[in-house]
Amino acid sequence: MAKVREKAAAEAVIEEMSPLAARLKEEYDGAVMADSPEGILLAADRLPDVAAYLREAPDLTYDHLANVTSVDYPDYFEVVYHFSSTKNGGDPVTLKVRANKTDPVVPSLTPIWPGANFQEREVWDLMGIRFEGHPNHKRIVLWEGFEGHPLRKDWHEPYYEADHKPFPSRWPEGQHIQVEDRTPFKGNVQYPPNWDPDEWKPVDDMADFVERTEARLKADGDGMKTQKVVVNMGPQHPSTHGVFRMKLMLDGETVVGLEPVFGYLHRCHEKIGERNLWVQNIPFCDRLDYVSTISNAFPYVLAVEKLLDITPPERARYLRVTMAELSRILNHFVAIGFLFNDLGAYFTPVLYCLEEREFILDLFEMVSGSRMMCNYYRFGGVARDLPPDFMPRLEYLVRDRLPRGIDEIDYFLSENEIFLSRAVGVGVLPPEKAIRQSTTGPVLRASGVPYDLRRAAPYSLYDRFKFDVITETAGDVYARYRVRLREMRESVKILEQVLEQVEEGPIQEGKKVWQQKVPAGEAYGRAESPKGELGFYVVSDGGANAYRYHIRSPVLMNLTALEEMCLGYKVADVVVILGSIDIVLGEVDR
Amino acid sequence: MLGKGVLKGMQVTIKRFVATYIEDLRYFPRRASQEAAEYRQRADTRGLKTIEYPEQKIEMFEGFRMIPFLIYEEDASPRCTACGMCARVCPAQCIWIERDKTPEGKNLRRPRHFTVDATICMSCGLCAEFCPFDAIRMDNNYEIGAYGRDDLIFHKEKLLRPVAYYAKIYPTEHALKEEEKRQKAEAKAKKAEQ
């Protein structure tokens, strides 16, 4: 790895710079240290200025902080920022800053870009880079007091066997070891040295939230000295769609402070991903967003294909789009159904929605062999071709069943007075704030920002299809519901065009290799998943395993705006607002 | 009119409610028949989608993935050559293979032990996809519930299935492979003639 890095650094010093880097160099003397196609390297202390400039300059308008992540190189840490433009679309701009190994510190972008809040906390939690000026500098998925920072290369998990799969113990002398033999008190539990479990006292994580919220209320001029109520909601709560927890501060029934707590479903996805072979990550991707499973690997294969520099054949690309759009319809059905569950329409609408979903799952099962854990996308193609009875079934669904199902849901729910009174004007998120909080997907579009990656930065075949980017102006719960409903119709439209255009042909470019070697480099692949921008940032050192594998989760970013949406509404509305974001904890916690 | 939206919703519910009964009448008096299950799986069904498991069962699509199994030929020799491809490509690393050896320590092209830990298998099917000898395939038997975790450690004896079983659950794929084999053999025979 070190060798590869040095080479890249040496290349970066050359005078030839991208126009943007040259301009930044001119504007900010000494800020730009190097430039390469993989990103502009900045001096750490100038980062906030340059980032603000990217947003404010009228012809740049990089107003959307898409992704913040970090990489652990042998000699330094690197924090990577991806900025995209909601106005102009196109590829994101990559900024990088470096931090030393002994005491890594980088200035925080959170005060000016609230969207960086959770992402910077995640970098601190998993990589151990401090962000100076962050208002709530706490761990995010692990608990306070966790020893070490797991994504550092020198951190080893309790079952640690080797840096990379395949593990040598499996073959050719493979002797099976029962999982139990390695579980509790036999090496599964790792205590930090000199730590006594009996003396450990749990941290009161509420106190800190109360303190911060009260300070903020005081600053806002909260004159009335009424007693506030602090409520803990979740992680076991039926409305939280999994194990999600919120700390709430209430004034009567009105929410005056909210802080989401994550990590109850954290499965070390990224650490596992760095141990895996490239191809082994594809089945793990299905476990991210377990509602729209099949399309999760889409951005991952796009990112790796960028490094491999291959393009899948036409038919494979059509199949990918087909599956992605089917999963979008499926996801929106589930989202709408469960929104009504949260509203109290207990299980009638959701079962009607799940019934339509069932037919789509049948298609997935037919083509991939599994209903939910599809494992369908491959580098340079897809896993299997369609079985003969797939097309007639798809055609029937697209031309008949799905439009009818969508119309029925529309007729059934859209004008329901109870729904209207609970949803209209609730959880309003103004467009500027939606962009600033880095929201994407239906949440952003419901606030009136026409930002859809399928249109803004077309990938795969999306530049061929005619479809509308759905927006609503109100930005409330009802608008988000309408966006999802109308988006399903657009997806059906895309599928109709697929049916007309798809032709027979090969489904795999080149030969499928199990131990795929990926050329050294970095790539950020992104796709418009049903929930928003799903991005994969991968770094390869030229080997068969990922050096860094990061997921930009759309739902985690959308939750950044949750407090903004909930402030001033009643505690009963929190449930509805959360339902309208459409969270899936598998993707939030990873 | 206030309440119109709610009434419209009720209309949908009533329609659905009636549809399920009409569907039931069609199979009166045996609503749990196999024929009813097949109808309910079709895309154009209007009533119920659910079936009454375990009285009714759905036929799985070809290629449904559950736990891998090993194929042995008609002469009872396993196809597996212990090359270790499946054990290495497995994302969960749930396959353990010990290669068989002669008493002198020479490697044999067959496994001595072959273990799949079904408790950690993630049913991804990569082993079957990358097997160069078509020796491992995914079984479609989803009823693998057991009373103890030891019962879920599948050893070679439990994993081995005859090629006829493979032909039964993978009819299209098996026919395709046989055709390929036949063509190869034919080409070889032709070459030998020349």
Per residue in B107-135, pLDDT (tens digit) is 888 888 889 988 889 998 899 988 888 88
In 3D space, the residue among B142, B140, B147, B86 whose CA is nearest the CA of residue B116 turns out to be: B86
Counting one residue from chain A and one from chain B, the pairs whose CB atoms sit within 8 A come to 147
Cβ neighbors of A34 (< 8 A, separation 6 or more) are A9, A12, A13, A40, A41
Mean pLDDT throughout A73-102?
88
Total residues found in chain A within this entry:
590
Q: What residues make up the domain containing A547?
A: 269-589
**Is residue A128 located within the same domain as residue A274?**
no
Mean pLDDT throughout A342-350?
84
- Position A223 confidence tier, pLDDT thresholds 50, 70, 90: low
What residues of chain A, 333 to 372, have a C-beta less than 8 Å from chain B?
A: 348, 352, 355, 358-359, 362, 365-366, 369-370
The predicted pLDDT at position A497 comes to: 92
Mean pLDDT throughout A323-328?
92
Does residue B13 sit at the A interface (CB-CB below 8 Å)? yes
**Residue carrying structure tokens 């650094």:** A9
**pLDDT greater than 60 at residue A198:** yes
The predicted pLDDT at position A496 comes to: 92
Per residue in A432-465, pLDDT (tens digit) is 889 888 899 899 999 989 988 888 888 888 988 9
The predicted pLDDT at position A7 comes to: 47
The predicted pLDDT at position A12 comes to: 47
The predicted pLDDT at position A489 comes to: 92
**pLDDT greater than 80 at residue B30:** no
Per residue in A382-413, pLDDT (tens digit) is 988 888 889 999 999 999 889 998 998 998 88
Do residues A529 and A295 lie in contact, with contact meaning Cβ atoms separated by under 8 Å? yes
**Is residue A127 located within the same domain as residue A275?**
no
pLDDT above 90 coverage of chain A, percent = 18
Q: Which of A132, A147, A175 marks a domain boundary?
A: A132
Mean pLDDT throughout A114-132?
90
The predicted pLDDT at position A3 comes to: 45
The predicted pLDDT at position A416 comes to: 87
> Which helix (H) or strand (E) is B125 found in, with range?
none
Judge: A412–B9 Cβ closer than 8 Å, yes or no: yes
Mean pLDDT check: name the lowest of A67-81, A328-342, A503-517, A562-576: A503-517
Distances (CA, A) of A136 to A191, A344, A561: 27, 34, 15
Distances (CA, A) of A306 to A299, A518, A550, B21: 10, 10, 16, 54
Do residues A110 and A117 lie in contact, with contact meaning Cβ atoms separated by under 8 Å? yes
Cβ neighbors of A176 (< 8 A, separation 6 or more) are B96, B113, B115, B117, B153
**pLDDT greater than 80 at residue A225:** no
Residue B30 CB-density burial (10 A; 0-12 exposed, 13-18 middle, 19+ buried): exposed
- Position A326 confidence tier, pLDDT thresholds 50, 70, 90: very high
Q: Is residue A234 part of a domain?
A: no
In 3D space, the residue among A310, A327, A307, A319 whose CA is nearest the CA of residue A461 turns out to be: A319
Mean pLDDT check: name the lowest of A48-57, A272-281, B171-180: A48-57
Q: Is residue A30 part of a domain?
A: yes
CA distance B145 to A571: 43
Q: Who has greater pLDDT, A285 or A36?
A: A285
Q: Is residue A313 part of a domain?
A: yes
Q: Is A381 left (phi over 0), alpha (psi -120 to 50) or beta?
A: left
In 3D space, the residue among A70, A54, A59 whose CA is nearest the CA of residue A113 turns out to be: A54
Mean pLDDT throughout B154-170?
88
Which residues of A fall within a CB distance of 8 Å from B130? 512, 514
Mean pLDDT throughout A234-240?
76
> Across the interface, which of B4, B8, B91 has its CB nearest the CB of A283?
B91
Q: Give the residue on B whose Cα is nearest the Cα of A276.
A: B91
Question: How close B96 gets to chain A, by Cα (Å)?
Answer: 5
Per residue in B47-103, pLDDT (tens digit) is 777 888 887 888 888 889 899 999 988 888 888 888 888 888 999 888 989 888 888
**pLDDT greater than 60 at residue A481:** yes
Q: Is residue A162 part of a domain?
A: no
Decide which of 3.20.20.70, 3.40.50.2300, 3.90.1150.10, 3.30.70.3270 is the CATH code for B68-163.
3.30.70.3270
Q: Return the beta strands (E) in A202-348 as ranges.
A: 229-233, 245-251, 254-261
Give the best residue of B17, B41, B96 to mutate against chain A (max A CB count within 10 A): B96
The predicted pLDDT at position A518 comes to: 86
- Position A252 confidence tier, pLDDT thresholds 50, 70, 90: confident
Judge: B91–A284 Cβ closer than 8 Å, yes or no: yes
The predicted pLDDT at position A482 comes to: 92
Q: Is residue A142 part of a domain?
A: no
Which residues of A fall within a CB distance of 8 Å from B122? 283, 373
- Position A299 confidence tier, pLDDT thresholds 50, 70, 90: very high
Q: Give the residue on A whose Cα is nearest the Cα of B120.
A: A179
The predicted pLDDT at position A484 comes to: 92
Do residues A532 and A439 lie in contact, with contact meaning Cβ atoms separated by under 8 Å? yes
pTM score of the predicted model:
0.89
Judge: A179–B153 Cβ closer than 8 Å, yes or no: no
Per residue in A166-187, pLDDT (tens digit) is 888 888 887 888 766 766 566 5
Which residues of A fall within a CB distance of 8 Å from B119? 179
> Which pair of tokens denotes residue A239?
């409305």
> Across the interface, which of B12, B64, B117 has its CB nearest the CB of A176?
B117
**pLDDT greater than 80 at residue B31:** no
Question: How close A347 gets to chain B, by Cα (Å)?
Answer: 12
The predicted pLDDT at position A66 comes to: 87
Does residue A176 sit at the B interface (CB-CB below 8 Å)? yes
Residue A286 belongs to domain with CATH number: 1.10.645.10
Residue B171 CB-density burial (10 A; 0-12 exposed, 13-18 middle, 19+ buried): exposed
Q: Is residue A196 part of a domain?
A: no
Do residues A520 and A9 lie in contact, with contact meaning Cβ atoms separated by under 8 Å? no
Per the prediction, chain A carries an average pLDDT of 85
CA distance B151 to A67: 45
For chain B, the domains span 1-59, 68-163
- Position A210 confidence tier, pLDDT thresholds 50, 70, 90: confident
Which residues of B fall within a CB distance of 8 Å from A353? none
CA distance A307 to A518: 7
Give the best residue of A164, A176, A406, A507 to mutate against chain B (max B CB count within 10 A): A176
Q: What is the ipTM of this complex?
A: 0.89
Distances (CA, A) of A352 to A337, A346, A402, B48, B49: 8, 12, 12, 11, 10
Buried b (16+ CB within 10 A) or exposed e, A350-377: bebbbbbbbbbbbbbbbbbbbbebbbbb
Total domain count for chain A? Answer: 2
Mean pLDDT throughout A5-19?
55
Does residue B80 sit at the A interface (CB-CB below 8 Å)? no
Residue A93 belongs to domain with CATH number: 3.30.460.80
The predicted pLDDT at position A187 comes to: 57
Which residues of B fall within a CB distance of 8 Å from A362? 41, 43
Which residues of B fall within a CB distance of 8 Å from A358? 49
Does residue A180 sit at the B interface (CB-CB below 8 Å)? yes
